Amino acid sequence: MIQAILGKKGSGKTKRIINMANDALKEHHGSVVFIDDDTRYMFDLRHEIRFVNAGEFGIKGRGLFMGFVCGLLAQNSDITVVFIDAFLKLVGDEPSALEIVMTKLAELSEKHNLDFFILFYDELLANGYSEQRIWKAVDRLLDRLIEVLKKES
């Protein structure tokens, strides 16, 4: 499953995803991972959560990001849920790149029985995209993901 967490700047998205990550320890029996582009929120997470500062590794762009995520999963097959903050800073906001990354994450989710919670929105608004356009794009991405998964079944 992939869940997108959307909201305007200052609406409490990061606090929400941190609370969700902390609560996930009660609900998930595997490892919980939190990926961010810096260490700002590291101490807000429970110590059992694997915090990863992707910015420390120079992760910028879809290829590096997907290699990074696959490396995490290869290193620890017990990961059941991944929270990703600053998603667009790590992946980029090219529509084609987002579509590819979301498709790959959906494939990983299905193959490895993972849940992904992805926070993105501020960057889209900052780049001039309207709220309506963002929601339409998210709907199209989800529709495409469903089509891909149906074809592979």
Condensed to tens digits (0 to 9), the pLDDT of residues 86-138 reads 888 888 767 677 778 888 898 899 999 999 999 876 555 556 666 666 667 66
DSSP, collapsed to helix, strand or coil, labels residue 75 as helix
Q: Which residue has the higher pLDDT, 150 or 37?
A: 37
Q: Is the pLDDT of residue 82 over 80?
A: yes
Residue-wise pLDDT tens digits, 7-45: 767 778 888 899 999 999 988 889 999 999 999 999 999
Q: Where are the domains of the chain?
A: 2-152
pTM: 0.80
How many other β-carbons are positioned within 10 Å of the β-carbon of residue 139? 10
* Local confidence band at 84 (pLDDT 50, 70, 90 cut-offs): very high
CATH topology of domain 2-152: Rossmann fold (3.40.50)
Residue 33 confidence (pLDDT): 96
Q: Distance between CA 57 and CA 146 in Å, rounded?
A: 32
- Inform me whether the pLDDT recorded for 61 exceeds 60: yes
User: What is the model's pLDDT at position 131?
Assistant: 63
